[in-house]
A = this chain, B = another copy of it.
Amino acid sequence: MTTEAMLLHYIYLVAIVAEAMSGAIMGMRRGMDLFGLCLVGTVTALGGGSIRDMLLGHYPLGWVAHPLYLAFTITAALVTAMLARHVHRLRILFLLVDGLGLVAFSILGCDIALGVGVHPAVAVVFGMITGIFGGVLRDILCNEIPLVLRREMYASVSLVTGAIYVGLHKLGTDPGEALLMALGTGCVFRALAIRFKWELPGFSGTGIRGFE
Contacts and interface: CB of A to CB of B under 8 A. Distances in A.
Contacts of A204: 31
Contacts of A201: 33-34
B145 A67 contact: no
B39 A149 contact: yes
A39 B141 CA distance: 19
Nearest to A145: B143
B55 A205 contact: no
Contacts of A57: 57, 59-60
A112 interface: no
A79 interface: no
Chain A: interface residue count, which band?
35 or more
27 contacts: A25-B211, A27-B149, A28-B203, A30-B205, A32-B150, A32-B203, A33-B199, A34-B200, A35-B155, A35-B200, A36-B150, A36-B202, A56-B59, A60-B118, A64-B118, A67-B119, A67-B122, A67-B125, A70-B125, A84-B203, A85-B208, A89-B210, A94-B211, A141-B149, A142-B145, A143-B143, A143-B144
Interface of A: 25-37, 39-40, 50, 54-57, 59-61, 63-64, 67, 70, 81, 84-85, 87-89, 91, 94, 118-119, 121-122, 125, 136, 140-146, 148-151, 155-156, 199-205, 207-211
Given A39-B148, A67-B122, 6 more contacts: A28-B208, A32-B145, A33-B200, A34-B201, A84-B203, A89-B210
